[in-house]
Structure 1
């Protein structure tokens, strides 16, 4: 017999694929229940509605990011190495093909299902910014960087590292960057943030 937590994990995994592939409106709870090998009654006991399941799926998807960013807030790495690791964790999530597919779905269906956009923002964009802002505050306390607003800086950093490739994929049909391209972008963004790019006066 599976525990409720194990069953939830299976349902969330099935929902990830169904929402990204078929869209929110076209995905039925009956199909999700069948995919997870449970009854519809059990599905509704675990997740009272499709919107609740979508929210749980978004929250679950971010645990990898949150743990990755938290692990870098230590004394064992220098500020540039730590920032690259934190930004790479953000980029890995923001540029994950399934996450981009979900974002495309949210944009397409948010007019009919406005709770989708709110849930995606709350459990996706907002939590990602909060996680990186927490990492930045640790660095401020160590006197390694100086910031007036860590939340604002985190939003700028995530925008710099991920927004352009996301938009290119969603609106332009351009393939998502390779791992090597993401790492290069992360290195450039970290250097811009820490060192700037103004040329020295002759």
Structure 2
């Protein structure tokens, strides 16, 4: 006759496996990104996000206190992951042309991502009602991308590959060249965002124009 299972065995079989809070928080941020993009800030509730994430509202509130913190954390999380990839792209190539192309593609992959553009549209539409939205998006999004690109440009200056008066200003100009026009066309003109191949072509053009003015190898303005 088979032995009866102990109460300890029964409890272990029925007990759900615990998931680390960091992993749960990541799942919540991903769900929030989809909900905010689809429904807008005002219409998105924490209950909707919890349902999409497959967690209870009690769990969500234990990890993230309110909707404002959820939005801020979601933007920061997206940028944290982008900046990690950004550094890898920047270090992959010794040649300045390849390095700048890879770096600008990393920027474009985020700034022209359809969900990021949708979030930007939400910020513009609802900042009057939720005044902290624009500041959060700028601080955790736009400013951090520009600062990361400026840091990368300073590394290229130290390597003696480019010459710039102001790396921060140059970073803003580069980001504007790559993303501003197609993003405005999508947000205000209702046009589709560029395809990956179209973004690659735009990045190559922007990188070429930029290096033509600041390269230090005999092909830029510093050529004798």
Shorter chain as normaliser: what TM range? Answer: over 0.9
| Aligned equivalent of 1:10, options 6, 27, 34 | 27
Task: For 1:86-165, list aligned pairs within 5 A.
Answer: 86-165=103-182
- Matched residue SS, 1:194: helix
How many Å separate the matches in 2 of 1:117 and 1:96? 18
Counterparts of 1:1-202 in structure 2, within 5 Å, are: 1-74=18-91, 76-196=93-213
CA distance in 2, matches of 1:118, 1:76: 34
Cα distance, 1:138 vs structure 2 = 0.4
**The 10-residue stretch of structure 1 (43-52 or 120-129) with the greater mean CA deviation from structure 2:** 43-52
Contact 2:89-2:106 within 8 A present in 1 as well: no
On the 8 A contact 2:96/2:161 being kept in 1, the answer is: yes
User: So what's the TM-score if we normalise by structure 1?
Assistant: 0.93
Tell me, in whole angstroms, the C-alpha distance in 2 between the residues paired with 1:118 and 1:125. Answer: 10
Residues 82, 110 of structure 2: 8 Å contact kept: yes
* Deviation readout 1:99-121 (Å, 9 max, x if unpaired): 01111111110100011111110
Once residues 93 and 45 of structure 2 are traced to their aligned partners in structure 1, the CA distance between those partners, rounded to angstroms, is 48
User: Matched residue of 1:106: which SS?
Assistant: helix
The 10-residue stretch of structure 1 (66-75 or 125-134) with the greater mean CA deviation from structure 2: 66-75
For the 8 Å contact 2:108–2:199, the answer to whether it is kept is yes
Unaligned runs of 5+ in 1: none
Conserved? CA contact 1:73–1:138, under 8 Å: no
Measure the CA separation in 2 of the matches of 1:31 and 1:76. Answer: 43
Q: Which moved more, 1:25-34 or 1:175-184?
A: 25-34
**Larger gyration radius, structure 1 or structure 2:** 2
Cα deviations by residue, 1:62-116 (Å, 9 ceiling, x for unpaired): 2343123212443842011100111011011010000011111111101000111
Is the alpha carbon distance of 1:39 and 1:80 closer, same or farther for their aligned partners in structure 2, counting shifts above 3 Å? same
**Is 32-41 or 139-148 further displaced after alignment?**
32-41
Q: Distance in 1 between matches of 2:195 and 2:52?
A: 31
Count of aligned positions: 197
For the structure 1 residues 169 and 113, does the alpha-carbon distance in structure 2 shift closer, same or farther, using more than 3 Å as the test?
same
User: Superposition RMSD on alpha carbons, in Å?
Assistant: 1.5
